[in-house]
Amino acid sequence: MIASPDDGYPFTAPVGQFKPNAYGLYDMHGNVYQWCEDWYGRDYYVNSPKQDPKGPPRGIARILRGGSFDNYPRRVRAARRGSHPPGYRTFSIGLRVRLRLD
């Protein structure tokens, strides 16, 4: 289900306001773009491993995934990929913290 642009939140929604996805994860799409550890490589995916590609070993820009609240619905998906230098900042970019409970 895609959230309507009239979901009651004019900007980012508070954490956990919508149902989790099929994997039990909340807030994966449409809140803010998420920084990834991977470096951007224009042609990297042409010859990359098919499972869990990590990106090139170095670069000048990091990958962003997921889209944000100010995107069109067709752009708000995990496969959406953008890039910016690591120091770039704006209201529509954030990060996801992964907790390890072991």
Give the model confidence (pLDDT) of 34-73 as tens digits. 888 899 998 888 888 888 888 899 999 999 888 887 888 7
Mean pLDDT of the chain: 81
Closest CA to 5 of 65, 64, 74: 74
| Domain ranges within the chain, ordered by starting residue | 49-102
In 17-62, which ranges are continuous DSSP H helix?
Answer: none
Q: Which residue has the tokens 């000048």?
A: 60
pTM for the full predicted model? 0.65
